[in-house]
């Protein structure tokens, strides 16, 4: 009987160990879906952050492009003004400027039209 009782106690111990292992495996299995959910959430948040940054980069690129266009336009205007400022002023330019502003040359006569007639 002692051998039968020893076998039964060994079987009981083995069953307890098996139950303990099964419980630990069940706990591990329960953690896997939670871990997967956490990982999936992190991936989604990371993706959203990347998309937001890409959108901000695109807006900044458009802003930089508009600033470059404005810079080039102003540079061309400044170059034209610089050339105009560097050219010597001659008598013909002065006469033309004076006529545009209502002045006349010494030997010229001015006639006014009467608009009421």
Is residue 113 a part of any domain in this protein? no
Count of domains observed in the chain: 1
CA pair distance 70, 74, nearest whole angstrom? 6
Q: Map tokens 């940054």 to a residue.
A: 53
Is residue 116 a part of any domain in this protein? no
Is residue 117 a part of any domain in this protein? no
Is residue 108 a part of any domain in this protein? no
Is residue 111 a part of any domain in this protein? no
Largest CA distance in the chain: 150
The whole-model pTM stands at 0.44
Residues of the chain with pLDDT under 70: 1-8, 28-31, 110, 116-117
Domain boundaries, position 61 = 2-100
Is residue 109 a part of any domain in this protein? no
Burial profile 1-16: b = 16 or more Cβ within 10 angstroms, e = fewer:
eeeeeeeeeeeeeeee
Is residue 115 a part of any domain in this protein? no
């Amino acid at each position: 009987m002692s051998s039968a009782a020893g076998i039964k106690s060994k079987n009981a111990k083995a069953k307890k160990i098996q139950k303990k292992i099964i419980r630990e495996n069940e706990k591990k299995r329960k953690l896997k879906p939670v871990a997967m959910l956490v990982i999936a959430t992190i991936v989604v948040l990371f993706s959203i952050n990347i998309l937001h940054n890409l959108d901000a980069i695109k807006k900044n690129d458009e802003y930089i492009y508009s600033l470059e266009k404005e810079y080039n336009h102003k540079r061309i205007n400044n170059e034209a003004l610089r050339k105009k400022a560097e050219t010597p002023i001659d008598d013909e330019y002065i006469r033309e400027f004076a006529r545009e502003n209502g002045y006349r040359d010494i030997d010229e006569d001015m006639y006014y039209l009467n608009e009421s007639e």
